[in-house]
């Protein structure tokens, strides 16, 4: 775990310490996300789920208005804004201390979301879909989650392949991107290896097996494996039945240095962190 590494994120004046691992609760305001699509499109449902996750101990609420499941297409900026902005406004109104991250690949959506109360940008495309994203992050001066993805959601799982070693290629990718971000003086950067985004099942487990390699970049690491196909396809179950597998992988990720767990199930993730912390008590 990164308990000895003094990472902090400045979320528009709210300092989020990563001395102990944190939990990011997923709130998809989409009709078609792979696990919870269509469940949180209405204001009451959004607030109910946000309150539930916050009571269970979520440190961040991650709001996404565009599905990134394999095969999903990029939607219009207008449609995405129509989904995420009311959700952000409602959560900030009723739970004003909430740290919200906006899960988007579009600079305009990120800008509007931050103006309405979001304070972290979570970009699965690492600036590859919208070339204005990096400049926007620099101007907004908020933490940025940089994720590795091969291709785009529409085609990322069409026979993903890597020329050499998947871990080495992701490491090289991060080094190049961090160089660019450093030139823009973007300081608070979180790395996400992108489990399931342009990776085969074997790729995903190879990355997990070697996750501690990425600590050499001296950035906090976010891990998102919650109920993904690397679990349910391996176990031959449905996403709804993949909680146990999710907890197993999250436990391993914490032992290998994860600072943030991005999850559908906040209570279970918080319990996992508590148990791992107790293991480290001498």
Phi-psi region of 249 (alpha: psi -120 to 50; beta: other; left: phi over 0): alpha
Task: Specify whether 209 is catalytic.
Answer: no
- Tell me whether residue 228 is one of the annotated catalytic residues: yes
Q: 144: closest CA among 170, 172, 105, 198? A: 105
Q: Which of 262, 267, 270, 274 is catalytic?
A: 262
Contact 209, 195 (CB under 8 A): no
Catalytic residue among 69, 228, 256, 270: 228
Of the candidates 42, 20, 43, the one whose C-alpha atom is nearest the C-alpha of residue 31 is 42
Strands 8-11 and 14-17: antiparallel
Q: Which residues pair with 144 in a beta bridge?
A: 121, 189
Task: Name the DSSP letter for residue 146.
Answer: E
Instruction: Give the active site residues.
Output: 228, 262
């Amino acid at each position: 775990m990164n308990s000895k590494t003094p990472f902090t994120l400045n979320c528009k004046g709210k300092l989020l310490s990563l001395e102990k691992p944190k939990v990011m609760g997923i709130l998809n305001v989409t009709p078609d996300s792979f696990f919870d699509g269509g469940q949180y499109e209405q204001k009451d449902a959004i607030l109910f789920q946000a309150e539930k996750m916050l009571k269970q101990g979520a440190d961040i609420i991650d709001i996404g208005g565009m599905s990134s499941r394999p095969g999903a297409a990029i939607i219009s900026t207008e449609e995405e804004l129509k989904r995420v902005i009311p959700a952000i406004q409602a959560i900030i109104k009723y739970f004003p201390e909430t740290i919200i991250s906006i899960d988007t690949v579009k600079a305009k959506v990120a800008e509007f979301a931050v103006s309405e109360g979001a304070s972290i940008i979570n970009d699965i495309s690492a600036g590859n879909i919208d070339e204005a994203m990096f400049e926007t992050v620099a101007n907004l001066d908020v933490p940025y989650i940089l994720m590795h993805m091969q291709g785009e959601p529409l085609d990322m799982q069409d026979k993903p392949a890597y020329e050499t070693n998947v871990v080495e290629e992701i490491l090289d990718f991060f080094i190049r991107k961090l160089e660019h971000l450093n030139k823009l003086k973007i300081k608070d950067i979180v790395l996400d290896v992108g489990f399931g985004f342009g990776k085969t099942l074997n790729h995903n487990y190879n990355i997990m097996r070697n996750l501690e390699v990425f600590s050499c970049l001296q950035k906090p690491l976010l891990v998102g494996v919650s109920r993904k196909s690397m679990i349910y396809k391996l176990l031959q179950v449905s996403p709804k039945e993949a909680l146990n597998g999710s907890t197993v992988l999250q436990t391993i990720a914490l032992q290998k240095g994860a600072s943030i767990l991005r999850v559908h199930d906040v209570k279970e993730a918080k319990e996992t962190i508590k148990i791992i912390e107790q293991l480290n008590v001498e």
